[in-house]
Amino acid sequence: METKHIETLSKWLVLKQMIKDKGYTLWQMQYDWDNPDGYHVGYMNGDKRLEVITHCKDVADDINKDL
Domains defined along the chain, listed by start: 2-65 (3.10.180.10)
d(CA 6, CA 11) in angstroms, rounded, equals: 6
Which helix or strand (DSSP H or E) is residue 34 part of? none
* Arithmetic mean of pLDDT over the chain: 96
* pLDDT beyond 90 at 40: yes
Return the ∠ at Cα 14 (arms to 12 and 20), rounded to 5°: 95
pTM, rounded to two decimals: 0.93
* pLDDT beyond 80 at 67: no
pLDDT of residue 13: 98
pLDDT of residue 51: 98
